[in-house]
Structures are given as C-alpha cells and as structure tokens.
Amino acid sequence: MLQEKIAKIIKILRKTYPESRTALHYETPLQILVATILAAQCTDERVNKITPHLFSKYKTVFDFAEAKQSILEREIRTAGFYRNKAKNIIAAAKKIVESFNGNVPQSMNELVALPGVARKTANIVLSSSFKKTEGIAVDTHVKRLSRRMGLSKEKNPDKIEQDLMRIVPKKDWIDFNYMFVDHGRKACRARKPLCQECEVKHLCSATPNLP
C-alpha cells in the first residue's frame, strides 16, 4: 500500500535530513512571501543573494506597496521573469494593505487570493511562518520525486498535491516538502540521479532492479 511505502520513506528521510527547512532566508511572513515569489523558476541560492538588499530597503508591506515597479524590476532582475514578479509583489503588498490591515494572511484561501500566489507559495508561507498545514507544497523537486517514486502519476502540481495529501500523514505535511527538496538536491537529481547513493532506492519505483 502507498501509505505503508510513504511511511517508510518519511522515516528514512527524517533520519537522513533531521534539520530540513526552507533554504530561503527570511525573518518575517512578508519576507518569506516575497522570497517564495522570487524563487519561482529561480534557485534559492540566487534569491538569497537578492533579498538582503531588498529587505533592508523595503522593511514593511507598505514599502513594497509603494514601490516603483521599474526600480523593483532592476533590483530583482537576476531572479528571472522580473517584470511579472515585480508586478505581483507590489500588487500582493497592496492587497495585504487594503484587505488584511497590512498583515500577511494566515489561511490558504486568503493567500491564494493575492496576486502571484498559488498553492505552492501559500503552503510554504503557511508552514514556514505560521506552522500551519493546509496542504503540501509541490515544487519541481517534490513533483520529480513523487513521480519517480510512484507516489503520483499526475503532472499537474495541484493534482500531485491531492495525491500526496491522501497518503502522507497530516503530521508530516510541513516537513514533507523540505525533506524531498533536500533529497532532490543531494541524490534524486533531475538529470543524473545518484540512485546507488539513495537511502530510499529500495522503495523507489524508478529503481526496481537496484540492490
């Protein structure tokens, strides 16, 4: 059964990555929200090079709401898709000011109502800042590993999330993304997975013939 398989995978990965957490640097809910928007199709390492200056200049949601888009675009240019990201960050900040009294909302429905925020971003904000679980963040690592391990046959992140939520115990939802990201970076890489070094290779559908 998939529930038994995922329980074994989680147990092993918890031992392998006991301190799994988001690699993005942040101190406040607003900062993790902005950082996660920037991280779309961009490495966490690159985002962490951008945000120190950004967060020292834009200290509050009001600062981001009043930012000039052309200037913000230049400041986040190396994150890629900078025009759309700058537009969404400013629009999300304005929405937070207008609808949530300047506080980053703490529910899935409210977060996904913000410009540029889909379920993945909302899940990361909820888990990282508020320790709340309303779902499982499905990024490129979780998507890749879930399909390789036979946990989901879907390609759409939202459908993969639904599959995972059915088999992953809710108590593990917060850490699930972080552990899979760590394992995706260390062993289950996109181009050349290090299957022989993988701690869960015996539970992986992609490596049935490995010892």
Q: What is the per-residue pLDDT for 207?
A: 60
Q: For residue 72, count other CB atoms closer than 10 A to its CB.
A: 21
Residues at the binding site for [4Fe-4S] cluster are: 188, 195, 198, 204
Residues making up the chain, counted from first to last: 211
Identify the CATH number of the domain defined by range 2-21+136-203. 1.10.1670.10
Residue pair 104/29 in contact by the 8 Å Cβ criterion: yes
Q: What is the per-residue pLDDT for 206?
A: 79
Q: What is the pLDDT of residues 131-161, one digit of tens each?
A: 999 999 999 999 999 999 999 999 999 999 9
Catalytic positions, please? 120, 139
Q: What is the per-residue pLDDT for 19?
A: 87
Q: What is the per-residue pLDDT for 205?
A: 85
Q: What is the per-residue pLDDT for 208?
A: 47
Domain boundaries, the chain: 2-21+136-203, 29-130
| pLDDT less than 70: residues of the chain | 207-211
Given the candidates 1.10.565.10, 1.10.10.1590, 3.40.50.720, 1.10.340.30, the CATH classification of the domain at 29-130 is 1.10.340.30
Dig out the tokens for 29 from the structure.
């809910």
Q: What is the per-residue pLDDT for 106?
A: 97
Q: For residue 116, count other CB atoms closer than 10 A to its CB.
A: 20
In this prediction the pTM is: 0.90
Residues at the binding site are: 188, 195, 198, 204
DSSP letter (8 states) at residue 117: -
